[in-house]
Structure 1
């Protein structure tokens, strides 16, 4: 984590847009002494049915809804579980049962009590087929989850069919937070759309107004007094009102911050730091988990051939592109886990695959792509060497610039790379049946078990349709092991395998960059770099 200060640069055009977008929202302490803060986020996809914490896979949803929903445990700065809604827990010797002893003083924002029945109802909702959960279901163990049993009013047993070591860390996630059971009973089909009276948790802020595509307004939950042990504050939130404004353009978010119409802005590109000033504090946190990467479908098209995949990776000047596009503020990635992923990163992979046009050309020759067409692209049996990069909109300017650079690099070795930026619904039409060549994303997480979602034959985000029992065995073994040394070795083997097989091409290690006015006090961050507003005040 680093805190940086820079000289303020006003963005006139952006400020004009902000005045219209925010409608003159005021921040800070109002005339009647109320504390109000405006938080500007990118959040373009939140309104597309992503407000059900048990269904969404959108990071912005998890960030925003952390203010509304609590979890069984929290994580301290070292990534260790600490009590939250569960005041203590034990794990059976065989690793199959987690017993949680719950607080008995917690209520939901609608007045319903938090108890063992609430835990059971929520975990039942996660696994219910009609919820269509993927990420939350995976965090709960997927097929390994056997059920939740009520021991007494404030004790539950969470059972698994096989040991599932990541569960305690996973239980800290917003996505395994808790709805009021009444909401689950009466509004289950409305959770994805969300809104007041529907998005109801036990957290320090209550959603009181939601304008899709524009803003969420949250008021402090005055009864709140059950923070996690990682919190530095107790009692109700210090802020009376938290206004979360959705501003998809980074320049507009910067304009909101520098004009004073927003107090905190996040999802900022590295290049924006120079546009901020000494009245703004910038925090950049390298994210754990899977770096921003390209996912090659080795069961589809030209990427069925490992030599083509290796040549594709070798033929892109990733170092130069990342340095140029991100002004040297992001590090290029070497592995499918980022360096800050606890007890997992294989540093021995650094420097093992540099840009090498000669080697890339040799690999393509060996693969039989030896003839060139009139445009200089390689062909084999009359077919051009071509792959389509299918991307999910909106695409950031930085990622688009990277794609442009890679297109030029690959053209030099006779490899055509076609860009296809699709709206979410169109993207899913290709993504669901895995009918594409490659796609891209980053996926943050504090436990390396996230690789199971991306590489296991049954992983919900695995791009390939090819079954790999040897890799499945490594990932299953790591998920079951409670020995940190053994888990680290198994994940090292998975990273080494990908380095040779080239299922995923790591590009850069993303950072969560957030800027806040100096009048904002007590702003904290979780391990994902997401701002936490529970203990925040404004002066």
Structure 2
């Protein structure tokens, strides 16, 4: 098996502590932040689209988050929703109407003013123009959207045909960031070419699909989020993003001073990065952890007993210890542990291969001559479709493949390019998918597993789960909603809709010249406070 690392002896306590740090690399110069300079950043994958509304991958969002502001922000420490473009808001008791009072004086980078009509055109475009394109998350956040009413130039009232308790948090995401009319008027594909106009602290100065993106500081920017660490414009003059798929090349470029920061730094890269004066910055992702999502309409995965057996058949600790490292965690629920309303279900996800074998025996899946189980002439074999959006995906699945084989399950690996993965996912042409989804709100369960969400399980009604997911969306009482999200986590496992493996962590390598490179609430990078001292 190709492993990401052979041992962890090079990892030190410094690396572990970095996960809890403020995001400021060691070796900071004394004194206040210094404006100016160009930060050179190495992405592990190419951005898929320059439009924040259509952004899906972390590498894409590292770029698009910088050019767009959102109505609200979310404090990464407390989870509280805080002002940004909207300086205040009201939510109706039934959570069907959200009234946002916009900050005066905000302009887009083309000089046009932010108004309530801007909000209206953005949300209308997501629902009516981008639906069916790459704005699946954004569209799910606007489920039941009936329109935005312009009460006055700086007051926008967003309406829904049902309660939508998750929408206030959704208004803090880059997918619902506010773009200028010149962008929202464009068709979906034209919004992916680097011409997007936002009100954010950076603007596009160059964009080459699949290769690079360059951002320039927005001079005069003065309406940052209350979560940001300073007022006024960003410190950096420019950010140059270059796509470098090979981890070793990224690390070498960082250590030699050709880059200032890189994505997806691997544990074996730590000695080289730290040896050159840099460090690793680590934060876990909230949302749905990495896992296998079965298509209930294809092959053996239609059998509930098979799905139930997969849960105890996977040794998640071995995945972390062998393939990843101490900055990663095993999945312990259908939500990642950093997500608000997370419930620890680790007792249900313990490694128990004998339990898995017993479940399969009772369901009539008997071992065949090659060790793979058979029932009614059908082998217990299924494929898992995955992309390389995270560098560890293949190595993790290769180890899962070995683990499942010991209980009589044949897992076939089906690696795919981003384009092929997206096409097959859209057609629901797969036995199972392997991926994760990031969001700092438990409503991500509805997006992933709800009948009105993506429904990659290709399932029919499951009354208990459907009532729970509908209930959390419509419940405005925080305690009651928390209880429902807790129930939903268990019901997802009860029905075998997700076979969790590991929690994703963002691991950034940063040189000693970089200060205050921070993560926002959904574990994406925020460059507004970042500065250089070289």
| Alignment TM-score, normalising by the size of structure 2 | 0.89
Distance 1:190 1:453 in 2: 23
Residue 335 of structure 1 corresponds to which residue in structure 2? 333
Q: Which moved more, 1:290-299 or 1:51-60?
A: 51-60
Q: Does 1:367 align with 2:354?
A: no
Residue 35 (structure 1) aligned with residue 37 (structure 2): yes
2:209 aligns to what?
212
Distance in 2, matches of 1:267 and 1:421, equals 19
**SS at structure 2 position matched to 1:466:** coil
Q: 1:247-296 deviations in whole A, cap 9, x for unaligned?
A: 12222221221111111222223443233215113221111111111112
5+ unaligned residues in a row in structure 1: which ranges?
7-32
Question: What CA distance in whole angstroms lies between the structure 1 residues aligned with 2:131 and 2:485?
Answer: 31
Tell me the distance in 1 between the aligned counterparts of 2:259 and 2:325.
Answer: 26
Picking from 373, 380, 402, the partner of 1:385 is: 380
Is residue 45–residue 389 contact of structure 2 (8 Å, CA) maintained in 1? no
Deviations 1:134-163 (A, max 9, x none): 1111122x1x21110101111111111122
Tell me the CA shift for residue 477 of structure 1.
Answer: 0.6
User: 455, 458, 464: which one pairs with 1:464?
Assistant: 458
Q: What does residue range 266-305 of structure 1 map to in structure 2 within 5 Å?
A: 266-277=263-274, 279-305=277-303
Write the distance in 1 (CA, Å) between the matches of 2:203 and 2:424: 37
Give the secondary structure class of the aligned counterpart of 1:477: helix
1:357 aligned onto 2:357: no
Measured in 2, the distance between the counterparts of 1:199 and 1:341 equals 30
User: Match for residue 376 of structure 1?
Assistant: 371
Residues 416-449 of structure 1: per-residue CA shift (max 9 Å, x gap): 1111112234334432232322111111111100
**1:83-98 pair list within 5 angstroms:** 83-98=83-98
What SS class does the counterpart of residue 150 from structure 1 fall into?
strand
Residue 232 of structure 1: how far off its partner (Å): 1.7
Match of 1:526 among 516, 520, 531: 520
CA separation of 1:498 and 1:274: change in aligned 2, threshold 3 A: farther
Range with greater deviation from structure 2 (512-521 or 421-430):
421-430
Alignment of 1:92-491 (within 5 A): 92-132=92-132, 133-140=135-142, 142=143, 144-185=144-185, 187-195=186-194, 198-277=195-274, 279-342=277-340, 344-347=341-344, 349-373=345-369, 375-393=370-388, 396=391, 398-491=392-485
Residue equivalent to 2:490: 496
Tell me, in whole angstroms, the C-alpha distance in 2 between the residues paired with 1:352 and 1:463.
21
SS in 1 for 2:54: coil
Q: Which runs of 5+ in 2 are unaligned?
A: 1-11, 16-34
State the Cα distance separating 1:53 from its structure 2 match: 2.1
CA–CA separation in structure 1 for the residues paired with 2:476 and 2:233: 37
Q: CA deviation at 1:219?
A: 1.1
Preserved CA contact (<8 Å) 2:57 2:389: no
Q: CA deviation at 1:464?
A: 2.9
Quote the Cα distance in structure 2 between the aligned partners of 1:117 and 1:155. 9
CA deviation string 1:447-505 (max 9, x = no partner)? 10000011111212532332223211101111111222111211121122233322101
Matched with 1:26 is: none
| Displaced runs of 4 or more, over 3 A | 3-6, 187-192
User: What is the SS of the residue equivalent to 2:480?
Assistant: helix
Q: Deviations over 1:168-209 (max 9, x none)?
A: 111011111122102333x435444322xx211111111011
The aligned residue for residue 74 of structure 2 is 75
Q: 2:9 maps to which residue?
A: none
Shift of 1:376: 2.4
Please, which moves more after superposition, 495-504 or 440-449? Answer: 495-504
> For residues 36 and 351 of structure 2, what CA distance do their matches in structure 1 show?
56
Question: Following the alignment from structure 2 to structure 1, what is the Cα–Cα distance between the partners of residues 237 and 390?
Answer: 35
Tell me, yes or no, if the aligned pair for 1:42 and 1:246 is still in contact at 8 Å: yes
Compute the RMSD of aligned alpha carbons. Answer: 2.0
Taking the aligned partners of 1:337 and 1:275, their CA distance within structure 2 comes to: 34
**Cα distance, 1:433–1:519 mapped onto 2, change above 3 Å:** closer
Q: CA deviation at 1:413?
A: 2.2
Report if aligned partners of 1:300, 1:435 keep a CA contact under 8 Å in 2: no
Question: Contact 2:281/2:508 (CA < 8 Å) preserved in 1?
Answer: yes
- C-alpha displacement at 1:526, in angstroms? 0.5
The answer to whether the Cα contact below 8 Å between 1:36 and 1:239 also exists between their aligned partners in 2 is yes
Q: Deviation at 1:365?
A: 1.6
SS in structure 2 at match of 1:400: helix
